[in-house]
Structure 1
Amino acid sequence: MESAIPGHLTCPRSRERRIDDDFVPPFPAWVARADASLKDVVMGYFGVQSKGPAALPKARAALQHIVRGFSLVDGPGRHDLAHYVDEAGYDNLIAIAYWDNQPGFARWQASPAIDGWWSDEARLGDGLGYFREILSPGTERFETLFSTADRKEGVGALMGGTSAEIQEHGYWGSMRDRLPIAQTDSIEPSGALSVRDLAPGPGRRTKINGHQNLAVIRSGQEWTETEGKERDLYLGEMEPILHAGMDFLRDEGQSIGCYANRYMRHVEGSGQVLEKSFGLSYWRSLADMERWSESHPTHLAIFGTFMRIVQELNFQLKLRLYHEVTVLESGQQDFEYVNCHSKTGLMRGV
């Protein structure tokens, strides 16, 4: 086994890991690897919001316009499409895009074709809502984890390489132990979300300021290749409990430090739903996320059910799991909402 933290980001620890050096995880896992030339990335969530079946074709056309923009100079190296219905009953179509350098993203975003369309006042009056949530961490501020070594999702797909089996997983606190910044930094939050410009609500363009060490997790699963007993167990037992936990974070998460949560299904460009899903959560801090995962009944039910199913299947799974966790400096966050309802994304946190 090797450490989840690559050699070029390893430094003498002033904050200890939660495990001893001879710890052996209960099952294998891998992380994405990039060479030392990768200094930072951009994770962009570009959303189109609508309400009711009649508005969906127009929303899909708007999303397709956004995706076409990805093919312009300095566009992203990877993107996914997803859909979910939020607590207010609005459809949210989202393109999640990843860049492997921040200057390239900045040039792309500032180009006339991209900025002109986004800044156009027509965005406030065409009957749709729009948002973009841009995360720009350095490589020391995010970590990845994959249950298989042969396919990567999200930011991991940009990183080129894959580790050998890693040691820091399969125990509470392993997220923190995989983060390079956490070798020496407690990554405690400071400050609070705040509104720039107009207050949240329809007919407005609202920008939200983040705060120091806000944490984000994208955690996904794919059951395309499952069959027989494993498929029945996942769809009949695992997924309903996972869904309930995601709904708790969406509806009641603010009480435990979760600003917003979306439980999304991957879709194709045509709108065809795929057998892949993920939760995206914004948290006040990594510590708040850890407390939920370690002690809250909703997550203990998810984890306990998963471990029971894994053991019942003798650790032989075709279910694919992954996540990426990011802890951001205040200047690495850009949240903007155009004509969206007031509980969209980070607006609900203010």
Structure 2
Amino acid sequence: MESAIDTHLTCPRTLTRRVPDDYRPPFPMWVGRADESLTDVVMAYLGVQYRDPDRKRAALDVVALIVASFDGEHRPDHHDVTWHVDADGFDNLIVVGYWRDPAQHCEWLRSAAVVDWWDSPERLSDGLGYFRETIAPRAEQFETLYAFTDDLPGVGAVMDGISGEIEEHGYWGSMRDRFPISQHDWMSAAGELRIVAGDPDVGGRVVVAGHDNIALIRSGQEWRAAQAEERSLYLDEILPTLTAGMDFLRDNGAAVGCYSNRFVQSIDADGNLEDESYNIGHWRSLDRLERWAESHPTHLRIFTTFFKVAEGLDKLRLYHEVSVADAKNQVFEYINCHPRTGMMRDAIRS
């Protein structure tokens, strides 16, 4: 049994864990492992938004353009593409990119092709909305959890491998305990979301400034290889409770500290749905995420359902990754998106 915190990220603990040292989890789980060369990662959510179904082809063409921009030497180490409909009825396509080296992401972001396209006046008049939501946590500022050990998704794809069975799971507070920084830091929120350029109600270009320790969760389910029994387990038992929880956060998240929640499904290059989904949730703080997870009926039902099925999982792949980031390592930019998109909804207008 291993600790979720890798040895090179271990330091003298000044904050205690939520369980005693002799705790043993009820079933096996694993975390991603990376060597000491991974000091920071970049998680970039690059979105295209539209409401008119006739704009779907144009939106997919933009997704193809973004993915094509990854062909150069500064491409991300991993990416995937998703679709969802938000609370206001807008379709959103998101290219999610992970860079193991922030310097490579900066080079990609500053490349002429990317800059010229993003800054072009045509972005204001082509009938689509765009957003870039990017955070870059340090290695001590994110944690992972997998119910499987191969072909890791998300940030796991840019790590070096997988742990043995880990101790810190199966109890309230285990998410926090898997963060290396939790050994000495509460990861408390500081400051407020603020509009620093533009006006969401007018449209056009808008920039939102974040604050320290915004928490980002990606929690996924993949059933591509699942046979009939496990597909039914997910689609008939897990998905209904999961959807109810995700819809609550989408529609009522502001009251519990969730800035934005998107329940997305993976798609191929032509926009066809694939057998994978995950939520993308931005929270004011890890503490607010924990409070919802530990006390709200919508999540308690999700948690109870997972515990019922966890030991019997074979081809149904469940996982999550959670990170926090310093304000200086966050970017939230929007072009022609509706004013409730992403971080704009809860940002203070100055």
Tell me whether the two structures share a fold, i.e. TM-score over 0.5. yes
**Residue in 1 aligned with 2:232?**
232
- 1:171 shift after superposition: 0.8
Instruction: Please state whether the residue corresponding to 1:157 is helix, strand or coil.
Output: helix
**Could you tell me whether the CA contact under 8 Å between 1:265 and 1:274 is conserved in 2?**
yes
**Residue in 2 aligned with 1:307?**
307
Amino acid at match of 2:222: E
Q: Distance in 1 between matches of 2:112 and 2:229?
A: 53
Q: How high is the sequence identity, in percent, across the aligned residues?
A: 50
* Map 1:110-125 → 2, pairs under 5 A: 110-125=110-125
* Map 1:4-153 → 2, pairs under 5 A: 4-153=4-153
**Could you tell me whether the CA contact under 8 Å between 1:245 and 1:299 is conserved in 2?**
yes
Instruction: Please state whether the residue corresponding to 2:199 is helix, strand or coil.
Output: coil
Instruction: Please state whether the residue corresponding to 1:247 is helix, strand or coil.
Output: helix
Mean Cα displacement is larger for which, 194-203 or 234-243? 194-203
- 1:257 shift after superposition: 0.4
**Residue in 1 aligned with 2:165?**
165
The normalised TM-score by structure 2 is 0.97
Pairing partner for 2:319 from 319, 322, 325:
322
Q: Distance in 2 between matches of 1:151 and 1:259?
A: 30
Instruction: Please state whether the residue corresponding to 1:70 is helix, strand or coil.
Output: helix
Q: Deviations over 1:63-105 (max 9, x none)?
A: 1111111112211010000000111111100000000111111
- 1:245 shift after superposition: 0.5
Instruction: Please state whether the residue corresponding to 1:93 is helix, strand or coil.
Output: strand
- 1:289 shift after superposition: 0.3
Mean Cα displacement is larger for which, 91-100 or 103-112? 103-112
- 1:227 shift after superposition: 2.1
Unpaired segments ≥5 residues, structure 1:
none
- 1:19 shift after superposition: 1.4
Q: Distance in 2 between matches of 1:148 and 1:236?
A: 22
- 1:292 shift after superposition: 0.6
**Residue in 2 aligned with 1:267?**
267
Pairing partner for 1:341 from 338, 341, 348:
338
Q: Distance in 1 between matches of 2:182 and 2:94?
A: 31
User: Residues 202 and 276 from structure 1, CA distance in 2 versus in 1: closer, same or farther, beyond 3 angstroms?
Assistant: farther
Amino acid at match of 2:337: C
Mean Cα displacement is larger for which, 184-193 or 194-203? 194-203
- 1:308 shift after superposition: 2.5
Q: Deviations over 1:329-348 (max 9, x none)?
A: 11110000001000001111
Aligned length: 347
Instruction: Please state whether the residue corresponding to 1:198 is helix, strand or coil.
Output: strand
- 1:230 shift after superposition: 2.5
**Residue in 2 aligned with 1:208?**
208
Q: Deviations over 1:105-147 (max 9, x none)?
A: 1111011111111111111110000000011111110111111
Q: Distance in 2 between matches of 1:61 and 1:258?
A: 31
Instruction: Please state whether the residue corresponding to 2:312 is helix, strand or coil.
Output: coil
Q: Distance in 1 between matches of 2:228 and 2:123?
A: 47
User: Residues 123 and 316 from structure 1, CA distance in 2 versus in 1: closer, same or farther, beyond 3 angstroms?
Assistant: closer
**Residue in 2 aligned with 1:281?**
281
- 1:223 shift after superposition: 1.3
- 1:212 shift after superposition: 1.1
Instruction: Please state whether the residue corresponding to 2:71 is helix, strand or coil.
Output: coil
The normalised TM-score by structure 1 is 0.97
**Could you tell me whether the CA contact under 8 Å between 2:203 and 2:339 is conserved in 1?**
no
